[in-house]
Chains A and B, each alone.
Chain A
Amino acid sequence: MKREPPRTIADYAPLAFPAIMLIVFFVVPFSTMIAVSFFRRQQGGFYTPDFVIDNYARFLSAFFGGVLGFSLMLAITVAVICVAIAFPFTYLLTKASRRVQIVWLVCLLSVLSLSEVIIGFAWSTLFSRTAGITNLLVPLGLMSESQALLPGIGAVLTGMVYQALPYTILVLYPALVRLDPTLLEAARTLGASPLRGFFGIIVPALRNTIVATLIMVFVFALGSYLLPQILGRPQHWTLSVHITDQAIYQSNMPFAAAMAVFLVLISLALVGLTLLVGGRKEVA
């Protein structure tokens, strides 16, 4: 039972089904989408095959330039907030007992798997006038009357951080749980306080992990498409929302595809950057 290169057709057989499925239902659709991004839009129907770059050209307009800029800024802000909270939290989590860790992991996975719809609904409830947190502040005398905290950028940001935080923690978890515990102990024996040990030793040691996580969370946040709709105003719509909007409601598939291709390029560039950062970790 040696591990060896496949030799006969039969050796390749197990690969057949997965390969066909992934090629037919991922590679082909993906290519279709790229092709469609160069097609011409047909009024009242889908599109006609063609090769035009109008769809990309339109993308350079001031309006979509603004959308892109807003999407990127929003994703960056979410990524920074999430990592800032998740890093110390995950560090403390990995220091907890195995039992505590498991309970937390179950909770984090449960929240992570929650539909964006549910997250959006939950926060819209929490920020609503009739059932929101402001109702708790009124009896405390901190507020004269309850009020709605949405729609608004703050609500969008809160919802997205809520969505991305469990993801961030779970991305950081492997790196932190494998961290050599003697690292901090060594710092402690040299007289560093826990806090100084953390910022002086742990954070620099994991600098590359932090950068990689920032990028991962950034890409994750770019994918958010319902929260800006539920919790924000139209000017808070991200690229993902506009892609859906163009594809479904404006029936402009070529333009939606062009935006999607653009989004892929940004994501791929950033994932590539992550791999580069991750790869350099081995050397450093």
Chain B
Amino acid sequence: MMETFLRRLGFALVALFLAGPLIVVAGVSVNERQSLSFPPQGFSIAWYSQIFTDPGWRAALIASVLLAAFSAALAVIIALPLSWFLWRRVAPWANVFRLLGVAPFILPPVITALGLLTFWATIGFYGQPWTAVISHAIFFVTLPLVTLSLGFSSIDRSLVEVAATMGADERTVLRTVVLPLILPYLISGYAFAFVLSLNEYIVAYMTVGFTMETLPIKIFNALRYGYTPTMASVSIFFVAIAALVFSLIARFGDLPRLLGAMSSEEK
């Protein structure tokens, strides 16, 4: 009984801590007038429609979504052949590239951001929107790399062998066995990279901050000049997107396994 009580209490406290700020922001976001007050005064979802109707916010939203969509795709395109090669071949030295892929994510982000800033400035492309796509792809390549490596390691090699005994050559095996089996991992890798790119601030800021406004940059800039309720609605909008994407991954994939549990049968 004591144990159950302690567990419930612990869960409740952590939940309150994690949800608290978001509840306040959600409350603020439905204020009727442009004021920062909680509990909300009146109720209005006007600040949500503002994200899509206000030209500034809409442009930032579009920039962010495009950046996230392209950079996540590029990250997957980099991670897929790499993780496939590491799985398919015996080449221990090639793990250097796995390390390179994970490094930007482990190091403090300001380092990657500054490295890319000096790089783009040196070769003269500083501020071009496409540099942000490449920068984010490199910064987040870790995520599809990890999910895909996990996906490949979960493929029973006898499946590949049995396909070969039935007459499938390398390409056919890849198309009919390997790709269908890692598709869920590929999608989750893309989704992780997409959501994190959507929220990323410093790399985007250092590479294209002066020429392009993504949503996080826009929020931060707006924050410096004072408060607008659209910030609150955008924040809640982002939380909702993240929750939706991760729920979908959980629904169609094995989330505990992706995050390190051994297998779904464990519990």
A and B touching (Cβ–Cβ under 8 A): yes
Residues in chain A within 8 A of chain B (CB atoms): 1, 3-6, 11, 14-15, 17-19, 21-23, 25-30, 32-33, 36, 46, 85, 88-89, 92-93, 95-98, 101-102, 105-111, 113-126, 128, 130-133, 135, 162, 165-166, 170, 173-175, 177-178, 194, 219, 222-223, 225-226, 230, 240, 243-244, 247-248, 253, 256-257, 260, 263-264, 267-268, 271
Q: Chain B nearest CB: distance from A139 CB in Å?
A: 10
B103 interfacial contact with A, CB 8 Å: yes
Q: Which residues of A contact B78 (CB under 8 A)?
A: 17-18, 21-22
CA distance A123 to B25 in the complex (A): 9
Q: Which residues of B contact A175 (CB under 8 A)?
A: 260
CA distance A23 to B6 in the complex (A): 50
In the complex, are the beta carbons of A113 and B199 less than 8 A apart? yes
Q: Which residues of B contact A6 (CB under 8 A)?
A: 89, 91
B28 interfacial contact with A, CB 8 Å: yes
Q: Which residues of A contact B115 (CB under 8 A)?
A: 26, 29-30, 32-33, 260
In the complex, are the beta carbons of A102 and B110 less than 8 A apart? no
CA distance A206 to B250 in the complex (A): 28
B235 interfacial contact with A, CB 8 Å: yes
In the complex, are the beta carbons of A115 and B90 less than 8 A apart? no
- Beyond A117-B201, A119-B21, whether A98 also contacts B267 by CB under 8 A is yes
Q: Is the interface of A mostly helix, strand, loop or mixed?
A: helix
Contact of B160 among A1, A109, A128 (CB under 8 A): A1
In the complex, are the beta carbons of B82 and A247 less than 8 A apart? no
Q: Which residues of A contact B30 (CB under 8 A)?
A: none
Contact of A135 among B6, B14, B38 (CB under 8 A): B38
| Binary CB contact string for chain B from 71 to 102 against chain A (1 if under 8 A, 0 otherwise) | 00000011101101101111100100100110
In the complex, are the beta carbons of B110 and A3 less than 8 A apart? no
CA distance A116 to B119 in the complex (A): 25
Q: Which residues of A contact B111 (CB under 8 A)?
A: 30, 33, 260, 263-264, 267
CA distance A19 to B82 in the complex (A): 8
In the complex, are the beta carbons of B202 and A225 less than 8 A apart? yes
CA distance A229 to B259 in the complex (A): 32
In the complex, are the beta carbons of A226 and B201 less than 8 A apart? yes
Find the A residue at minimum CB distance from B178.
A1
> What is the number of contacts between chain A and chain B, taking CB atoms within 8 Å?
279
CA distance A263 to B115 in the complex (A): 13
Q: Which residues of B contact A4 (CB under 8 A)?
A: 89-90
In the complex, are the beta carbons of A113 and B196 less than 8 A apart? yes
- Beyond A3-B157, A257-B114, whether A118 also contacts B91 by CB under 8 A is no
Find the A residue at minimum CB distance from B87.
A3
Residues in chain B within 8 A of chain A (CB atoms): 2-3, 6-7, 10-11, 14-15, 17-18, 20-22, 24-25, 27-28, 35-39, 77-79, 81-82, 84-85, 87-91, 94, 97, 100-101, 103-104, 106-119, 121-122, 134-135, 137-138, 141, 157, 160-161, 163-164, 170, 173, 192, 195-196, 198-202, 205-206, 209, 215-217, 219-220, 223, 231-232, 235, 238-239, 242-243, 246-247, 250, 255-256, 259-262, 264, 266-267
A-B contacts, 10 of them at CB < 8 A, read A25-B134, A89-B10, A114-B238, A117-B219, A118-B216, A122-B22, A125-B36, A178-B260, A178-B262, A257-B118
Q: Which residues of A contact B205 (CB under 8 A)?
A: 244, 248
Q: Which residues of B contact A33 (CB under 8 A)?
A: 111, 114-115, 118-119
Q: Which residues of A contact B266 (CB under 8 A)?
A: 177
Find the B residue at minimum CB distance from A98.
B267
In the complex, are the beta carbons of B138 and A173 less than 8 A apart? no
Find the A residue at minimum CB distance from B134.
A25
Q: Which residues of B contact A173 (CB under 8 A)?
A: 259-261
- Beyond A30-B115, A92-B11, A244-B206, whether A11 also contacts B223 by CB under 8 A is no
CA distance A53 to B198 in the complex (A): 38
Q: Which residues of B contact A240 (CB under 8 A)?
A: 108, 110
Q: Which residues of A contact B216 (CB under 8 A)?
A: 115-118
Q: Which residues of B contact A174 (CB under 8 A)?
A: 259-261
CA distance A22 to B102 in the complex (A): 10
In the complex, are the beta carbons of B114 and A260 less than 8 A apart? yes
